[in-house]
Structure 1
Amino acid sequence: MAVVTEQAGPAPGSSPEPVPTPAELLARARELAPLLVRRQAETEQRTYYAPDVHEAFREAGFYRMLVPRRYGGYETDIGTFLAVVTELTRACPSTGWMYCLGATHAVAVATLFGEAAQARFFADGDFVCPATIVPSGTAHRRPDGRWTVTGTWNYCSGAPYATHFLGHALAEPDDGGPPRPVLFVAPRDQWRRLDDWGGQLGLRGSGSHSITVDADLPAEFVLPDTHLSEVDVTLGTPGRALHGNPQYGGGPISFMVLEVAALSVGMAYGALDVYAELMRSRRTVFPPVVGRTEDPDYQLWYGEATGMIATAEAALRDAVRQWHELCAAGPEAFTREQDLRLATICRQVIRLCWQAVERHLFPTAGSSAVRHGERLERIWRDMSMLHTHAGFAVFLPTRATREYTRAHFAVG
């Protein structure tokens, strides 16, 4: 699913190895896939992927993919990053989810924060930064300009191996009005992870633990009056100017939803892989008893699901292409309308993937294939859990869709 685009002159920097090509990164993900498949139950039991898997990801350079080159990263295009995410998720949804939502926020940080902050955030090259968009806790600006941020944030996917945390807190404005959100990044030594994940329906191995922050942060680590879902990039961003790469100037809403669309495609392909194995190994129940590959009904169900998932993947690839083209066209091109339009495409990608599994693969696989611990049963739970996320169950089909239409027709 790699979409390779020309990058506009990244700032000078060095990586620990020659920057891998998209093909090399995808090959590394595919090489690790069988290991991830075998260890899905273990990952769920632990509630996050194993330390040796984390080390394999680190050696593969996966935590540097979206880090700017001036800080030792690869500055990989997002199409390649999402293709790697899809491959990892195809093997193990929990692992793909945890990796994606830890590594992906390098883009947000490199886009929105200034040079002084980025130099400190990316100092080690590898960057794992879970994030939440729901404001929690409090932020207080002290007379010396530093910030005190305290509170607990739930659903911080990627927390076990995180180097930082990106969150929103509420701050009392100087004019005495209602509390306003601030966006902040807290280094690992400023927070602790709670042991509160693993009892959910699905994505039990996604490392989506809560984080408790008690932080003393310098001014450059906090962006007042900022919410990630409402950032206006049409006037330019610090990252676009700093790195000379339009990728660090794109719409934040669409990028967040592109991630989940890639995760959905990976999960659906994983279900299709299981179904294909069952097609080859199982026979029909009712006469004439033949192998499933020879049965017209199974041929129909497999073909229908394949078409739906492939269509979803094609839509995702084109949404990535459009995202890059909007970035390259200049800051003024990536309006709120365009950001939301791409988000609505991603919603349809997620919907198609779910329908392929829910309508065709899961109900016809057979009850023995969906017993507890079976791979298809796990994927079903994981996809169901995805649909409980407020951003995709509530925000996308309601507020985002209405807001796009209002923006398109210039309705207040």
Structure 2
Amino acid sequence: MSVLAASKQGFPQPPEPGLTPAAAVSRAEAIAATLVDRQQETEDRTYYAVDTHEAFAEAGLYRLLVPRRYGGYAFGVDTFLRVSIALSRGCPSTGWMYTLGAVHALAVTTMFPERAQQEVFAGGDFICPATVMPGGTAERVDDGWIVNGTWGYCSGAPYATHFVGHAMAARDGGEPAPMMFIAPRERWRRLDDWGQQLGLRGSGSHSITMENAHIPDHYTLAGHMSEFSVAGGTPGLRLHGNPEYGGGPLSFMNMESAVLAVGIARGALDAYEELMRTRNTLFPPVVPRTHDPDYQYWYGEASGLIATAEAATHNAVQQWQQACARGPETFTREFEMHIATICRQVVQLCWRAVEQHLLPTAGSSAVRRGQRLERVWRDMSMLHTHAGFTVFLAAKAQRELAKARFDVEEVPR
């Protein structure tokens, strides 16, 4: 639906009705260029600066996935993920924090009922970290649930308007099982517990804690986000008519890891290119690195790996969007795992480019503490510790794809 069509239906106009997807990406690229020299500052603070946050808001970046009905741009996942790549290229921590804060507008629109959407998107800008591990408990009350608990790794928490989490809840007298919920900012507080990790120290991945927080029924969904089936249609698709609000949340979550890896690796290649242009070889004949066959090879090999990873990412996004257009029934378990295995290989290609070609040949002075390549290596290493990658993409997705393909419930023992 175009902005003009949305306005004719009485929907609120976004701040800039004439903004285009290409312009949004260009703005992100311009902001990204200012982030490179602020990476240490961002790590020290543990999240990006207020003026960066304000620049994102002014550029419309917090509304890219918000439905038009609520004053958003609904530009689509391809635009959003291009913005993520651009920002991660400039500063991995900032790109990570932005992406995992703004991306969950898609999941909330897809899964939650109209009443909840009307309320949570009322402010226009939407920043909502989410975690998949049940970090608390929910007790039933007459008008909803009382939630208590602490959830770690809530990337985007510092400027968040909401939080999506999972708690163990007993519904209808049954055994406790995961319940997904969305909590407005006033129902939780952020802990000051981030910044001592190996990498992504500026990603704002603080813990969130809730103490006797009341969550109304329409802000909850039975089950786990990763197991949400769209096969029968979704609230978002029925309400907005946008096929991307009927796509599989699990496959989309995996694409987040892929685009972040591509953006971070692109930043590493930028740093290596600067070294190529400004430094000489160490052994005779001493020549600029740009003229040395070995450095030419290392640069070209890394560049090819990253370009291949980026091409695979864009193709995965295209496949996901095409599946949305065909209808929710396209999102079978096999298709979801198909996208996941592509994303696994994307991360692997990016890691190989950095770990095997760029970092070892850059020189020890280029990987001193605080240098761009040193930080990228730490950040990509940290990505490898993320449960979504190291547990799901690196181990489970391949087996789940084969089981779905061959209709195997459990592997015989």
TM range (shorter): over 0.9
SS of match in other structure, 2:362? coil
2:156 corresponding residue in structure 1: 158
1:135 corresponding residue in structure 2: 134
Kindly state the Cα deviation for residue 161 of structure 1 after the two structures are TM-superposed: 0.0
2:111 corresponding residue in structure 1: 112
Measure, in 1, the Cα distance between the counterparts of 2:399 and 2:130: 25
Q: Confirm or deny: 8 A CA contact 1:12 1:69 kept in the other structure.
A: no
1:217 corresponding residue in structure 2: 215
1:307 corresponding residue in structure 2: 304
1:69 corresponding residue in structure 2: 68
More divergent stretch after superposition (234-243 vs 213-222): 213-222
RMSD, aligned α-carbons: 1.4
Measure, in 2, the Cα distance between the counterparts of 1:176 and 1:257: 31
**Deviation per residue, 1:56-87 (Å, 9 max, x gap):** 00000000010000000000110110000000
**Deviation per residue, 1:177-200 (Å, 9 max, x gap):** 3x1100000000000000000000
Kindly state the Cα deviation for residue 201 of structure 1 after the two structures are TM-superposed: 0.4
Measure, in 2, the Cα distance between the counterparts of 1:43 and 1:136: 27
Cα separation, partners in 2 of 1:12 and 1:332, compared to 1, 3 Å: farther
2:167 corresponding residue in structure 1: 169
Cα separation, partners in 2 of 1:58 and 1:6, compared to 1, 3 Å: closer
Which residue type is aligned with residue 253 of structure 1? Answer: L
After the TM superposition, which residues 13-92 of structure 1 pair with which residues of structure 2 at under 5 Å, given as runs?
A: 13=11, 14-92=13-91
Measure, in 2, the Cα distance between the counterparts of 1:191 and 1:210: 10
The structure 1 residue matched to 2:230, chosen from 230, 233, 238, is 233
Measure, in 2, the Cα distance between the counterparts of 1:299 and 1:375: 20
Structure of higher RCO (CA pairs closer than 8 Å, 6+ residues apart): 1
More divergent stretch after superposition (396-405 vs 236-245): 396-405
More divergent stretch after superposition (392-401 vs 159-168): 392-401
* 2:378 is the alignment partner of 1:381: yes
Kindly state the Cα deviation for residue 173 of structure 1 after the two structures are TM-superposed: 3.4
Measure, in 2, the Cα distance between the counterparts of 1:354 and 1:305: 10
Q: Confirm or deny: 8 A CA contact 1:139 1:150 kept in the other structure.
A: yes
SS of match in other structure, 1:125? coil
Measure, in 2, the Cα distance between the counterparts of 1:18 and 1:314: 31
Kindly state the Cα deviation for residue 175 of structure 1 after the two structures are TM-superposed: 3.8
Kindly state the Cα deviation for residue 12 of structure 1 after the two structures are TM-superposed: 5.3
Which residue type is aligned with residue 59 of structure 1? Answer: E
Kindly state the Cα deviation for residue 172 of structure 1 after the two structures are TM-superposed: 1.9
Which residue type is aligned with residue 72 of structure 2? Answer: G
Kindly state the Cα deviation for residue 174 of structure 1 after the two structures are TM-superposed: 2.7
More divergent stretch after superposition (17-26 vs 36-45): 17-26
1:249 corresponding residue in structure 2: 246
Which residue type is aligned with residue 147 of structure 2? Answer: V
Measure, in 1, the Cα distance between the counterparts of 2:314 and 2:297: 26
Measure, in 2, the Cα distance between the counterparts of 1:129 and 1:251: 18
Measure, in 2, the Cα distance between the counterparts of 1:275 and 1:217: 49
SS of match in other structure, 2:360? coil
Measure, in 2, the Cα distance between the counterparts of 1:292 and 1:272: 14
Kindly state the Cα deviation for residue 6 of structure 1 after the two structures are TM-superposed: 9.6
Q: TM-score, normalised by structure 2?
A: 0.96
More divergent stretch after superposition (179-188 vs 18-27): 18-27
Measure, in 1, the Cα distance between the counterparts of 2:135 and 2:37: 37
SS of match in other structure, 1:150? strand
Measure, in 2, the Cα distance between the counterparts of 1:150 and 1:51: 30
Measure, in 2, the Cα distance between the counterparts of 1:248 and 1:12: 20
Q: TM-score, normalised by structure 1?
A: 0.96
The structure 2 residue matched to 1:283, chosen from 269, 280, 284, is 280
Q: Confirm or deny: 8 A CA contact 1:129 1:159 kept in the other structure.
A: yes
2:183 corresponding residue in structure 1: 186
How many pairs are equivalent?
404
Kindly state the Cα deviation for residue 26 of structure 1 after the two structures are TM-superposed: 1.2
Cα separation, partners in 2 of 1:218 and 1:176, compared to 1, 3 Å: closer
Measure, in 2, the Cα distance between the counterparts of 1:60 and 1:173: 43
**Deviation per residue, 1:328-367 (Å, 9 max, x gap):** 1011111111011101101100110000000100000000
Measure, in 2, the Cα distance between the counterparts of 1:236 and 1:251: 10
Which residue type is aligned with residue 351 of structure 1? Answer: Q
Kindly state the Cα deviation for residue 19 of structure 1 after the two structures are TM-superposed: 4.6
Kindly state the Cα deviation for residue 109 of structure 1 after the two structures are TM-superposed: 0.2
Measure, in 1, the Cα distance between the counterparts of 2:15 and 2:79: 19
Measure, in 1, the Cα distance between the counterparts of 2:298 and 2:88: 23
Measure, in 2, the Cα distance between the counterparts of 1:176 and 1:100: 36
Measure, in 1, the Cα distance between the counterparts of 2:288 and 2:244: 49
* 2:317 is the alignment partner of 1:317: no
Measure, in 2, the Cα distance between the counterparts of 1:20 and 1:194: 36
* 2:143 is the alignment partner of 1:145: yes
Measure, in 1, the Cα distance between the counterparts of 2:328 and 2:83: 27
Which residue type is aligned with residue 157 of structure 2? Answer: A
Q: What percentage of residue pairs aligned between the two structures are identical?
A: 64
Which residue type is aligned with residue 89 of structure 2? Answer: R
Measure, in 2, the Cα distance between the counterparts of 1:117 and 1:64: 17
**Deviation per residue, 1:146-181 (Å, 9 max, x gap):** 11111000000000000000000001233443x110
Unmatched 5+ residue regions in structure 2? none
Measure, in 2, the Cα distance between the counterparts of 1:189 and 1:23: 35
Measure, in 1, the Cα distance between the counterparts of 2:286 and 2:37: 31
Which residue type is aligned with residue 302 of structure 2? Answer: A
Kindly state the Cα deviation for residue 18 of structure 1 after the two structures are TM-superposed: 1.0
SS of match in other structure, 2:166? strand
SS of match in other structure, 1:48? coil
SS of match in other structure, 2:361? coil
